[in-house]
Structure 1
Amino acid sequence: MDGIALVGRQELLTHRLVYAGTLLTLTGLTAYLAWHGEVILLGAALFLPSFWGIAHSRLLAWLIALTYYLVAARDIPAGAAVFFGQGTQNGWLLLIGASLLLSLPYALLWRRNPAIWRFAVILVLVSVPPIGIVGWTNPLTAAGVLLPGWGWFGLGATFVAVCLASRFPLLAILWFMVSMVTPLSVKAPPPHWAAVNTSYLMASGSTSGLTAAQRQQSLVDQLMRRNERVLILPETIVGQWSDASLFLWDELARRAEGRGQTILFGAELPTQKGYKNAAVRLTSAGGDPVYQQLMPVPVSMWRPWSDQSALPAWFAPQSVEIDGRRSAFLICYEQLLFWPPLVAMSTDPDVLIGMSNDWWARGGDIPAIQVSALKAWASLFDKSLIYAVNR
């Protein structure tokens, strides 16, 4: 009898291991599909609550969430190695640390046959600060492909749908199929608006110098030949905005003002406590900051312990009228989070403007993932979208 019991326990253990391995493999696959840069596949993220809900133990539920976040943000180590000019250790620390933090609520709130409200609490915890500071690749981003054009109601309905899938896992298949066949709704940029994409090697937070001056002069020369009514440049493309910058951009500013042309660029605005990562409108009087990034990248830009840190604007709604259209911004890292897009949309803009500086992410999926997230948010709220990238 003892032998039969032992065989039974071994079979049960084997079954559990196969079951766990299958769920973890499927989680990794869906995370990769959802966050690969194809906006139409964002709906694959809707399987996360289903896999979590059918986990047979707290350990497996935690590993499912951990696998999702590790795979979704897989390019961070390679990108960090380029950004910091060192090995991949900083990137691995950031990836693993953030993924452990994000997966913690999934472990703490899991129960066998969990109540729907538990996953609702998880979503809230990973969506807003403090955990939401690293709350990238949120499955609720799929609202833009599941219910395009539905706005706030669509976001609320997607929240309910995701939570229901944690209790009724087969619903995730239905939600994914709906997202795959629903036409995406992303409006084109307004007429005579253009994004100026660039390709410079540079680092956020770097000090101005000869290289920055040469880059700015090159940009000025390029923009002098552009006739569009509104021109959007990438994040931090100017570097630090200073008196020297005013000298380089003065002629272009006067020319643009005389032609009724608006030029927007990303720049770092030094302060006594650090700097603001901002979108700036060029004027003949200098630079007019129209947006300050809500959440700079932790560690590489936002360093609260340093006086060289990028300063977050947190939950400050900011929009500006450009060419007669109310415009909101999402700068780089914000495009991967959940709450900055909501703050942007709370101003009810006509146009969503994305600015990114992805020179460090060349060869990876991060730039494409950012664009897919921008498209999803623009689709959900039925907004015109324009984005400029430095790669």
Structure 2
Amino acid sequence: MCRDYLRPALLIFASIAIGVVGWSGHVLLLPVALGFPVLWSIARTRSVAALVSAGYFLAASRGLPQGVAAFYSSDIWPGLLLWLGASMSFVAVHSALWTKNSGARPRRYLLAAVIMSVPPFGITGWAHPVTAAGVLFPGWGWWGVGFMTAGLASLVTRIWPAVAIAVAGLWLWSAAIWTDTKLPEGWRGVDLELGASLGREAGLHRHRDIIATVRNAASDGARFVVLPETALGFWTPTVARLWTSASGDTDVTVIAGATVLDATGYDNVLVSIDRNGGSILYRERMPVPGSMWQPGRFLFGESGGARADFFANPVVAIGASRAAPVICYEELIVWPVLQSMLHDPDFIIAVGNGWWTEGTSIVAIQRAAATAWAKLFAKPLVIAFNT
């Protein structure tokens, strides 16, 4: 009887440890997440598979309750509810597709992996093990995605120990030759430490301070400067004129986060500004569910919330180059980056405003995920975050 409970308990504790370590925010630890499909496959019952899935997902997204409490300036209960609610789709998919039939298990797991990569379930498809492809197969591009897919399928078969040894070898080899991602020539990402005031304090003094920061970056030779999500606050004609005027005596192009508001809601965007004016460059495909994207409002005839463009504008043209932008939440899920890579952009732009994540590993995880995707496809990476 004791052994009947010991094995499931060990699997659950192991899944929690894998979620904590694999998603600690260190890019080279992402392959630890590949332990999850192994634990899922050796669970002997559907209920244990569900508990293993819950342990992994809740541990990987452990920063969410504290972050939500900070975002809403409330107690931790709303964050706990969102945390548990978001885990339901991950657990439901993996428990529904679990099977005792070892022959069918690889197909079932791959189906679960695909379902958690694309909408609607992919909207909360955080902590996806496929993200580790950038560590195991740097520079392999779509071949790396293919080999990672084959590896995930093999890890849920009886030969998983041999596959795990091969993965460990690739991991050690990659760690030994690992180099940081490169910036595109002439580009610079600017991190800010303005906390919750960024995007909310929109006075002239704040804009002038940020303009001065851009000028400092330009003085170092940058021709394109990237600022974090919502750096400009609301994008209005007045703000556009101010920044265009400030760009009048330089050759710098500024790529900055902003918010475009109208009567039905708002768009989280990146704008491009130079001496000739400013324009909307990119509209976020997947805003944060709950706090930003609120589809339930439309069911009750209400307006408001951020719009989700899902599969729109995967790449954007900036000068003679093509970039793949991802904003904040898009760095935690799978399809935005992979959709962009289908168009073979020249580089990736990853921005965020993570002031509300203080004390958690969320921003570090976003940076690690963006780095992993850039390494997988051998793309230069520009990162700009506010904390």
Q: TM-score, normalised by structure 2?
A: 0.91
Match of 1:26 among 1, 6, 14: 14
- Which residue in the other structure is 1:303 paired with? 294
Quote the Cα distance in structure 1 between the aligned partners of 2:287 and 2:18: 28
Gaps of 5+ in 1: 1-12
Quote the Cα distance in structure 2 between the aligned partners of 1:91 and 1:384: 35
Residue 210 of structure 2 is aligned to residue 216 of structure 1: no
Residue 172 of structure 2 is aligned to residue 180 of structure 1: yes
Deviates more, 1:89-98 or 1:183-192: 183-192
SS at match of 1:167: coil
Residue 381 of structure 2 is aligned to residue 385 of structure 1: yes
Residue 243 of structure 1 and its aligned partner are, at CA, apart by 2.5
SS at match of 1:316: coil
SS at match of 2:374: helix
State the one-letter code of the partner of 2:374: A
Match of 1:129 among 110, 116, 119: 119
Residue 365 of structure 1 and its aligned partner are, at CA, apart by 0.6
- Which residue in the other structure is 1:143 paired with? 133
State the one-letter code of the partner of 1:385: L
Residue 198 of structure 1 and its aligned partner are, at CA, apart by 0.6
Match of 1:290 among 281, 289, 292: 281
Q: Deviations over 1:214-239 (max 9, x none)?
A: 43232123223432211010011111
What value does the CA root-mean-square deviation take over the aligned residues?
A: 1.8
- Which residue in the other structure is 1:58 paired with? 46
Quote the Cα distance in structure 1 between the aligned partners of 2:240 and 2:346: 30
Match of 2:192 among 179, 190, 198: 198
Quote the Cα distance in structure 2 between the aligned partners of 1:386 and 1:16: 51
Residue 352 of structure 2 is aligned to residue 341 of structure 1: no
Deviates more, 1:58-67 or 1:304-313: 304-313
Match of 2:359 among 319, 338, 363: 363
Determine if contact 1:321/1:327 at 8 Å carries over to the other structure.
Answer: yes
Residue 292 of structure 1 and its aligned partner are, at CA, apart by 1.0
Identity level (%) = 34
The 1:288/1:367 distance shift into structure 2, 3 A limit, reads same
Deviates more, 1:116-125 or 1:318-327: 318-327
Residue 211 of structure 1 and its aligned partner are, at CA, apart by 4.5
Residue 113 of structure 1 and its aligned partner are, at CA, apart by 4.0
Quote the Cα distance in structure 2 between the aligned partners of 1:40 and 1:323: 33
Match of 2:109 among 119, 132, 137: 119
Quote the Cα distance in structure 2 between the aligned partners of 1:379 and 1:294: 22
Determine if contact 2:244/2:278 at 8 Å carries over to the other structure.
Answer: no
Residue 325 of structure 2 is aligned to residue 329 of structure 1: yes
Q: Deviations over 1:267-308 (max 9, x none)?
A: 011233211111110134542111111100001110121522
Determine if contact 1:113/1:167 at 8 Å carries over to the other structure.
Answer: no
Alignment of 1:219-298 (within 5 A): 219-227=210-218, 228-256=222-250, 259=251, 261-284=252-275, 286-298=277-289
Residue 323 of structure 1 and its aligned partner are, at CA, apart by 4.7
SS at match of 1:128: coil
Quote the Cα distance in structure 1 between the aligned partners of 2:329 and 2:203: 22
Quote the Cα distance in structure 2 between the aligned partners of 1:117 and 1:270: 44
The 1:212/1:358 distance shift into structure 2, 3 A limit, reads farther
- Which residue in the other structure is 2:72 paired with? 84
Residue 363 of structure 1 and its aligned partner are, at CA, apart by 2.1
Residue 326 of structure 1 and its aligned partner are, at CA, apart by 1.8
The 1:176/1:46 distance shift into structure 2, 3 A limit, reads farther
- Which residue in the other structure is 1:8 paired with? none
Determine if contact 1:265/1:279 at 8 Å carries over to the other structure.
Answer: yes
- Which residue in the other structure is 1:316 paired with? 312
Quote the Cα distance in structure 2 between the aligned partners of 1:176 and 1:84: 42
Residue 189 of structure 1 and its aligned partner are, at CA, apart by 0.4
Quote the Cα distance in structure 1 between the aligned partners of 2:204 and 2:170: 50
Q: How many residues align structurally?
A: 373
Q: Deviations over 1:311-362 (max 9, x none)?
A: 1111124323335322111111000001011112122111111001001112
SS at match of 2:385: strand
State the one-letter code of the partner of 2:124: V
SS at match of 1:189: coil
SS at match of 1:371: helix
Deviates more, 1:332-341 or 1:99-108: 99-108
Q: TM-score, normalised by structure 1?
A: 0.91
State the one-letter code of the partner of 1:215: R
- Which residue in the other structure is 1:6 paired with? none
The 1:149/1:224 distance shift into structure 2, 3 A limit, reads closer
